[in-house]
Amino acid sequence: MTKQSVVVPEVAVPMPPNSAPLLPYPPPRAAPGVAVRKKYLQAQLDLGAGLPLINGWVESMRASSPTHAKAAAALAAAGAVDDERAAWMVRHPSALSKFEQIVAASKGKKIVMFLDYDGTLSPIVDDPDSAFMSDTMRRAGRSVAKHFRRCRDKVFEFVKLAELYYAGSHGMDIKGPAKASRHNKAKAKGVLFQPASEFLPMIEQVHDSLIERTKCIPGAKVENNKFCVSVHFRCVDEKSWSTLADIVKAELKDYPKLKLTQGRMVFEIRPTIKWDKGKALEFLLESLGFADCTNVLPVYIGDDRTDEDAFKVLRKRGQGIGILVSKYPKDTNASYSLQEPAEVMEFLLRLVEWERLSRARPKW
């Protein structure tokens, strides 16, 4: 299965007639006096840079997934789970419980929705090839798309976005609508942007070589994600983690133009180009003609540390809303949180429903 981030075009959210006063947006990142257990959060944070900061590789591999039993046990032993989670939730409230606040922030604006795939639309599973979206999530996606199509006839900008945009390989493989519309001749061929295309042969080589080199590690899975090679260790016995890390690092020595980062129980080998999901988000906003629009509210939902680049971009622009999908406290640039894909689905459906009702309400 190709792993892609999905950009659902727009959801127009008209001004609510009796909207509550706007709460400060974005919510503050850190509440004064809230103690953050640095070690745990640092472990969460450092991996995106590919430089494990605590106790070497195995420790960083362990920290890459807070669902890992030992990490959870360590937190529980410190007796800090509930306190930490409560403090974190103050800083990153649930997008469901603050739904009214979010739609109020979109007052008079159109929402452009950016959705990560793994861990956001589909649950995290052991086998990356089985990370399917549930039928109910698909129905939710369809509702958003259907809702969009309804708007398309009415608003010119919508027509430009008549189909979904996909950004795979951490934003290095962007594909837009292929169909022309009568309003949208310039985009007839769609947006296709692959800033790392020269790396394709190199990525292939690394993929093939790592398949061979990791054969001795039961449970290791090497995935070719076109512009990125993923080496999964979710099903590898922890005793073999350092060997696996050594294999991956040794492979990279021959490729100075590639770098190593980590995701959730996965090593990722990718080009050292200055491109990430944040840049992809900016590129898409630009391509869609939304870069300088004050009447557009980008909403980005993602679960991984690679999504932090997109959250950072929104925060820096002071435009849009970042929502992190996580059950566990993580250092994040997102403003809100959702616990799991089921909550993402609920949020999407509520948004569609809210918009439907807003349209039905009389405008005074």
The span from the CA of 4 to the CA of 287, in Å, is 18
Q: Can residue 265 be called a binding residue for ligand L263DTV3 (CB under 6 A)?
A: yes
Min dist CB 66 to ligand L263DTV3, Å, is 12
Our measurement of the distance from residue 350's CA atom to the centroid of its chain's CA atoms, rounded to an integer in Å, reads: 20
Residues in contact with ligand L263DTV3, shown as a per-residue x/- string from 207 to 226 under the rule CB under 6 A: ----------------x-x-
Residues 331, 127: contact at Cβ < 8 Å? no
Residues 104, 22: contact at Cβ < 8 Å? yes
Min dist CB 246 to ligand L263DTV3, Å, is 20
The number of residues that bind ligand L263DTV3 (CB under 6 A) is 23
Interacting residue with ligand L263DTV3 among 266, 284, 297, 345 (CB under 6 A): 266
The span from the CA of 234 to the CA of 221, in Å, is 9
Q: How many residues does the chain have?
A: 364
Work out the angle between the directed axes of helices 308-317 and 277-287 (0-180°, nearest 10): 50
Cβ proximity to ligand L263DTV3, 157 vs 268, nearer residue: 268
How many other β-carbons are positioned within 10 Å of the β-carbon of residue 115? 22
Angle among Cα 309, 112, 137 to the nearest 5 degrees reads 90
Min dist CB 239 to ligand L263DTV3, Å, is 18
Cβ proximity to ligand L263DTV3, 263 vs 278, nearer residue: 263
Min dist CB 117 to ligand L263DTV3, Å, is 6
**Of residues 104-133, which lie at the interface with ligand L263DTV3 (CB under 6 A)?**
116-119, 124-126, 128, 131
270: β partners: 259
How many other β-carbons are positioned within 10 Å of the β-carbon of residue 286? 11
DSSP state of 122: B
Q: Can residue 268 be called a binding residue for ligand L263DTV3 (CB under 6 A)?
A: yes
Min dist CB 358 to ligand L263DTV3, Å, is 31
Q: Can residue 304 be called a binding residue for ligand L263DTV3 (CB under 6 A)?
A: yes
- E strand or H helix that includes residue 188: none
311: nearest Cα among 120, 147, 50, 81? 120
Piece in contact with ligand L263DTV3 (CB under 6 A), picked from 89-97, 230-238, 251-259, 328-336: 230-238
Site residues for ligand L263DTV3 per CB under 6 A = 3, 5, 116-119, 124-126, 128, 131, 223, 225, 230, 232, 234, 263-266, 268, 304, 306
